[in-house]
Structure 1
């Protein structure tokens, strides 16, 4: 283990190795929390008397169109291997958490303790298959026979959901309850998002489901400067990172604040009893819509042409 270094092995922030063997006898795999993530699974583990979240990355590929993007600039400035390490879920998280550690801003998201490398062994396979057997519907975590590629993971703080009542006994109901209760944290969550942008991190995939009890828990699509698509990277115009930051704020407005409003609007008087003490409205604004901006008094800095808000969902949006 001594020869394992901070990752990723490219310029910029890095994450250190977590100093505990995940296959040791004192590591308990308690619960499969995220059962069907597109590129990862999250397991609640216990080491000694402390619980952690172990995120195992099951997809090691890059984002769509990255290979084509590499060919659009002089490739002599960066090898394809180095380029692609800026676009994979595991490396994305390592860079973002590494930056927060560098700046002493680990409070802006769930704390990450380090990455782990888990070789495919009989011990690991047994642990994972035992965990899988507890759930009727879940994708496999254990690798197929013959696949000897090591599992990469990141160990993070375990964040409990908001205390739930006895009627909220399924994961779906607990998640919905937690997301409703997060309104208490919205102002701080928005301030923290601005601080992430100041730190050179754009999240790029933001919604109320990316938070647990007000804590941001996922950086798998995040880009962190220095980055090929960032300012001075050479592959994209300088405004691209600003545009992705605008997408984060737009997403916070639509997928956090307005999503919360929509959910509260569906609650009946009886339902609202379990949310006693919670605000019933939220006037916080993370981003002005283009329609709202047009209704305001015209200003020189709000005149056309607007730059686009880049996003991976195919929406045609303008920065305002």
Structure 2
């Protein structure tokens, strides 16, 4: 890969180094970290095999956080399992890594979310000077569990995590496992610790957050109760944050279908969790069909992002035209 990502991470520069939003390093990290407990799934289960990493309750300095430590990404394996022959020719290894590696996918999503907060706070400040007390500070209205930045953790922690939590599946390259080359440090995100067993809380607010995420160009794609804490989304490991190579490559029809499916997932989550609510992300087409005056054209959804952003985007060194 042309870009030396490891050097960027060690220098604590914003990542990923590609077009689009970026996430900076957590500035208060000085190397002192205490792992208290494993929050995520049992490391010996099938869920762990397919997961993108592990979440720990940690103490950094004097503060407690949820720390998501990511597994390592094999771009060659990703090209084999995720892409068709046509897509393999269209996307470079570098773009695939920076957009689809779960660590970078979350960095891009949180980079966009944090920028949204900053922009909203600037507007709030201007309105406050105009004596508009009804305008709330954006920091009090998170649309996802807050992320404070990334850190790198020395590879020596691997043995500690195995002894203390039995965590052992990190998907390291064979050359690192064999000792042929030094092991790379772990990549991790520092997030707010939400110490709650509740996943679904206030469906109407949750739907509003999902719509706002989509409006600012983030499709989480993974709308399940396990990815929520107290009604706030915590996982963006397979999110698309515009500009993203995949939505640009699949064409407008499939892109719209996948965006609609995200809303169906929200409704299905409420049903699976047996939540009693009238809130629906998608209209009840069976009911609407009975009403002659009901317009069921979903293409007019108010949360759709700018079509021009998705339809043409430089992937690798090639321009994709999906018109």
Do both share a fold (TM > 0.5)? yes
Q: What 5-or-longer segments of structure 1 have no aligned partner?
A: 162-174, 265-280, 304-320
Q: Call closer, same or farther: CA 1:240–1:59 in 2, change over 3 Å.
A: farther
3-state SS in 2 of match to 1:71 = helix
Distance 2:178 2:161 in 1: 13
- Once residues 49 and 292 of structure 1 are traced to their aligned partners in structure 2, the CA distance between those partners, rounded to angstroms, is 54
Report the Cα offset of residue 140 of structure 1.
4.5
Contact 1:7–1:15 at 8 Å: present in 2 too? yes
Q: 1-side partners of 2:72 and 2:286: how far apart? A: 39
Please give the alpha-carbon distance, in whole angstroms, between the structure 2 residues aligned to 1:299 and 1:237: 29
Give 1:128 shift: 1.4
Match among 135, 148, 158 for residue 183 of structure 2? 148
- The 2-side partners of 1:103 and 1:290 are apart by 33
Partner SS for 1:54: strand
TM-aligned CA distance change 1:89 to 1:289, over 3 Å: farther
8 Å CA contact 1:128, 1:141 repeated in 2 = no
Q: Report the Cα distance in structure 2 between the residues aligned to 1:127 and 1:285, rounded to whole angstroms.
A: 45
Instruction: Check 1:2–1:149 CA distance in 2 against 1; reply closer, same or farther (3 A cut).
Output: closer
Mapped pair 1:243 → 2:249: no
Q: How many residues align?
A: 251
- Say which SS state the counterpart of residue 84 (structure 1) adopts: helix
Q: From the superposition, tell whether residues 98 and 69 of structure 1 become closer, same or farther in structure 2 (CA, over 3 Å).
A: farther
CA distance in 2, matches of 1:49, 1:57: 23
Q: 1:71 to 1:126 in 2, by over 3 A?
A: closer
**Could you give the per-residue CA deviations for residues 220-273 of structure 1, whole angstroms, max 9, x where no partner exists?**
11000011233xx3x222344433331221111001x11232xx6xxxxxxxxx
Q: Residue deviations 1:95-148, cap 9 Å, x none? A: 100001112177111111111222312xx2343134225xxxx65469756361
C-alpha deviation, 1:297, in angstroms: 2.9
Within the alignment, does 1:82 sit opposite 2:77 as a pair? no
User: Is 1:287–2:320 an aligned residue pair?
Assistant: no
2:245 aligned with 1:202: no
Q: 1:48 to 1:152 in 2, by over 3 A?
A: closer
Residues 53 and 71 in structure 2, CA contact (< 8 A), matched pair in contact too: yes
Counterparts of 2:230 and 2:64, CA distance in 1: 16
The answer as to whether partners of 2:218 and 2:239 remain within 8 angstroms in 1 is yes
Instruction: Give how far 1:19 is off.
Output: 2.5
Bigger share in helix: 2
Matches of 1:142 and 1:248 in 2, distance apart? 29
Q: CA deviation at 1:85?
A: 2.1
Higher relative contact order (CA 8 A, sep 6+): 2
- SS at 1:30's partner residue? strand
- 1:158, 1:45 → 2: CA distance? 9
Measured in 2, the distance between the counterparts of 1:3 and 1:139 equals 27
Distance 1:141 1:240 in 2: 33
| Secondary structure of residue in 2 paired with 1:108 | coil
- Residue 42 (str. 1) matches residue 55 (str. 2): yes
1:132 equivalenced with 2:165 (yes/no): yes
1:11 to 16, 19, 22: 19
Structure 2: tracts of 5 or more residues without a match: 1-8, 118-137, 299-323
Summarize the alignment of residues 1-320 of structure 1 with structure 2, pairs less than 5 Å apart.
Answer: 3-21=11-29, 24=31, 26-35=32-41, 36=43, 37=48, 38-61=51-74, 62=78, 64-66=81-83, 68-71=85-88, 75=90, 79-104=92-117, 107-121=142-156, 124-132=157-165, 139-140=168-169, 146=179, 148-161=183-196, 175=197, 178-179=198-199, 182-183=200-201, 185-230=202-247, 233=248, 235-255=249-269, 257-261=270-274, 281-288=276-283, 291-297=286-292, 302=297
Tell me the residue number matched to 1:317.
none
1:229–1:293: structure 2 CA closer, same or farther, 3 Å change rule? farther
